[in-house]
Amino acid sequence: MTDKLQEILDSIGGVIWGPFVLIPLLFLTGLYLTFRLGGIQFLRLGAALNLGLLRRKDPGASGDITQFQALTTALAATVGTGNIVGVATAIGIGGPGALFWMWITGLLGMASKYTEAFLGVRYRQADAKGDRNGGPQYYLEKGIKGPVGKILAWSFTVFAVFACFGIGNLTQSNAIAANVENSFNVPVWVTGVILTVLALVVLVGGIKSIGRVTSGLVPVMIVFYVVAALYILAMNVGDIPAALGTIFSDAFTGTAAAGGFTGSVFIIAVQYGFARGIFSNESGMGSAAIAAAAAQTSHPVRQGLVSMTQTFIDTIIVVTMTGLVIVTTGAYKLIDGETNEQLSAALMTGEAFSQGLPGEWGHWVVTIGLVLFAFSTILGWSYYGERNIVRIFGRSVAIPFRVVFALVVFIGATTQLEIAWSFSDMMNGLMAIPNLIGLLILSGLVARETRAYLKFDPKLRATPEEIERALASEPGYQQWRAREAELDRASGREPQRPATSTISVPTDE
């Protein structure tokens, strides 16, 4: 029965991630948005990093958490097993060239991530408690009028609820338990209990609790992992040019990781590069827009740019570190002595770091990094799943969902889940399809309002009062400000700034 289910999931995933559905849709959407937004990910990256990582806050803005906390929540959800195991899987199956296609998903995906985060803030709502809610489940319906918007929004909502248990729970907890057992001989049930308790403690406090934890945990875990990788690359600096040459040439020649050449490996490299790329950075999936919608920001453009940096950090920095370590050390060519086959993805990254670091430090770094990455992903995706299930059933299900989600962590940690990756890939793809279609439809609005804002504040330094004066004649901004004022009143807070127009804003019960 399990084998049959695995076969079905693989077949569906093969179609979704094949050369005729999601790969061209991801690529063309990212490319189209890059041109439509004037290469925003390249021209505004510096200002976005400065606002998100250094200044961290947008004083005088409405929202539930700071911009930095929204960024780290999104990073928590994306920097997970995909950055360690997912990279190794892509290289192991598609060869070193798969890393190139992961970079492409990152660079083009930054434009997609900006667009969805912008829309998440632009169309955010307030629930019965007054908390900000947003994401594709809202902006697809509010921004695209008629049945098309409703179908896209509700398709995303349903797929996101299922996906949160795959990409955001089962695969993460399973990877943690397996690696902790291999490295420290801790029984998987013990790890499962600890993870479940920790998840419950954090999740019960909602987005504010998650934001506080991720804002402290995420920077530490990324710096810890990247520093270890940089040490290895420094020790193998002479091999980096050859490794880069291999990555770029194999991206187009189709040389298999385990040796040999097949014409189909080129397609496999692209397929796994895109699949693991989006698994890692989630650009185009719409998930990060849910965290962005809770942020305190004085304009959707500002939070969109801050959210965009998440893809840069995830893929261009963390994924690159893992991929270069694997290729420079040659770990992707090694054979498992027990099976006489290529190393599995779980072993490949650990072996690469072990070759580059003294003693057992390599396996410890990978294990500790994976534990931190995966646990933070569980926290982030719990919020994503909660916001979508609340969209379906109302706020009353929020607390029960958090409890159930935490209990599923134990199941994932203690059960062999070979089909979890296939299930996650399928759900990721199904989430992305309605969102990407929506991004294309709404791209005109995003481009128009983005140009209006960046024309007077390209360095993202304007105060709320300056924004108000500069955009006094911009109907999109004034509509958003009026809506923000209504949301503040609905939550029992005084509006941060007087709005210049008034609109009726419903709350989601």
Over its length of 509 residues, how does the chain's per-residue pLDDT go in tens digits? 677 888 888 888 888 877 788 888 988 999 999 999 999 999 999 999 999 888 887 776 777 788 888 888 888 887 877 788 888 888 888 889 889 988 988 999 999 999 999 999 999 988 767 778 899 999 999 999 999 999 999 999 999 999 999 888 988 898 899 888 888 899 999 999 999 999 999 998 888 888 888 888 888 999 999 999 999 999 999 999 999 999 998 888 755 444 444 445 567 777 777 777 776 787 888 998 999 998 989 999 999 999 999 999 999 999 999 999 999 999 888 877 677 677 877 678 888 999 889 888 888 888 888 899 889 989 989 999 999 999 999 888 999 999 999 999 999 999 876 777 778 778 888 999 999 999 999 999 999 999 999 999 999 999 889 999 999 999 999 999 988 888 877 766 665 554 444 434 444 43
Neighbours of 200 (CB within 10 A): 15
Burial 457-484 (b: 16+ CB within 10 A, else e): beebebebeebbebbeebebbbebbbbb
Sequence-distant (6+) residues with CB within 8 A of 338 are none
In 254-332, where does DSSP find H-type helix?
A: 265-281, 287-292, 300-311, 320-329
| Residue of 381, 345, 380 whose CA lies nearest to 366 | 345
pTM of the predicted structure, to 2 decimals: 0.89
Quote the pLDDT of residue 499. Answer: 44
Of 476, 481, 469, 485, which is closest to residue 451 (Cα–Cα)? 476
**CB atoms inside a 10 Å sphere around CB 160:** 29
**105 within 8 A of 118, measured Cβ to Cβ:** no
Count CB neighbours of 42 within 10 A. Answer: 12
Q: Which helix (H) or strand (E) holds 91?
A: helix 85-94
Q: Are 472 and 500 in contact (CB under 8 A)?
A: yes
Question: How large is the C-alpha radius of gyration of the chain?
Answer: 22
Q: Give residue for tokens 């490996």.
A: 265
